Amino acid sequence: MGITRRAAVAASLAALAVPARAQTEWPKGQPIKVLIPFAPGGVPDIISRIVTPKMGEALAQSFVVDNKPGAGGGLAGQLLTQAAPDGYTLLMGTVSTMSIVPAINPSLKYDPNSFAAIGLAAVVPMVVVVRAESPAQDMKGLVELIKSKPNFNYGSSGNGSILHLTAELFKLRTGLKMQHIPYRGSAPALQALLAGEIDVVFDALPPTMGQIKAGKLRALGLAMAKRSPALPDLKTLGEQGIPGVEAYTWAGLYAPAGTAAPIVTRLNAELLKSLADPENARKISELGYELSPSTPAELQAHTAAELKKWTEVARAADVKAD
């Protein structure tokens, strides 16, 4: 998902066309809070801390990154529904907050499609990794290995995580059977993989890059529509004869439902400028993230599509919140 140069320019011009009264009324000087659905160090936290300083400079306004972990990312979503639609409380949403948690946890009462989408910032590809000693050299080899081993298993960062759902999507598309072994985070799952306790992990690219480059893990395929600049020689699953397995985590900025269009437009314009800043773009790319700026309408459509997709996967795989 991305934005054309023409769309970016249009968004910037639209921001300049915001009525004078709306621009003078907002922002008024109070800090703009960005809710983060997970603890410090995750994708939404890192992206927010990279992009908000430039946004703050442009708006002459301070931004506060407010980590609100809980309910698999759902707590931050609930908090956004309770916030006033005045442009002073935002959410850096992820695939978990906006797509997976609402699908598997009906007790969380919020509709991601109701939020005011501001713009997508970045996506993080999911990669299939095995330890270096595995006989699987590519996805064809992995499929053969799974078929030959009745107790073949995969690890994830926990029940209902994007790692879990990506593996389930792979199972649904291929008809293969694997046993799920959940861990309390990606790092423990990767350690278990290296120790030979599990057979494969479907993980985000950044946490695996170091071990891949060190030769301790072998990347078999990328669960994306196109290859990643971080590993340009790694084929996608589609290129290896396994279509329909596209999965990635992502970070997108949202405001409460009912936020005025001029505020959304201005925030989108400043987000685009911050993402286009060479230093910010370098920082994001070096982490293994892929820049994916968008218009508000594009993020709104992306949100609806992701929610539909992961709801269908969760139901088909009978995944429910703990």
Encode pLDDT of 52-96 as tens digits: 999 999 999 999 999 999 999 999 999 999 999 999 999 999 999
Q: Are 17 and 114 contained in the same domain? A: yes
Q: Are 153 and 293 contained in the same domain? A: no
Residues 6+ apart with CB under 8 A from 280: 50, 51, 54, 274
Tokens standing for residue 18? 């915001």
pLDDT per residue as tens digits for the range 297-307: 999 999 999 99
Q: Are 109 and 255 contained in the same domain? A: yes
pLDDT of residue 22: 43
Domain presence at residue 67:
yes
For residue 81, give the nearest of 110, 39, 48 by alpha carbon.
110
pLDDT of residue 95: 97
Boundary-marking domain end, from 179, 206, 240: 240
Domain presence at residue 255:
yes
Average pLDDT, the chain: 93
Domain presence at residue 216:
yes
Q: Are 111 and 152 contained in the same domain? A: no
Give the CATH number, domain containing residue 188.
3.40.190.10
Q: Is the pTM of this model over 0.95?
A: no
Residues 6+ apart with CB under 8 A from 110: 74, 77, 78, 80, 81, 102
Percent share of the chain, pLDDT over 70: 93
Q: Are 258 and 286 contained in the same domain? A: yes
pLDDT of residue 151: 94
Tokens standing for residue 192? 């278990």
Boundary-marking domain end, from 187, 210, 240: 240
Q: Are 153 and 228 contained in the same domain? A: yes
Q: Are 93 and 232 contained in the same domain? A: no
User: Beta-strand (E) ranges in the chain?
Assistant: 32-36, 63-67, 89-93, 116-131, 153-156, 179-182, 200-204, 217-222, 248-255, 290-291
Domain presence at residue 322:
no
The answer, yes or no, to whether residue 45 has pLDDT greater than 70, is yes
Number of domains in the chain: 2
Given a contact cutoff of 8 angstroms between Cβ atoms, the answer to whether 90 and 255 are in contact is: yes
Boundary-marking domain end, from 191, 211, 240: 240
Give the CATH number, domain containing residue 96.
3.40.190.150
Domain containing residue 77 = 5-124+249-317
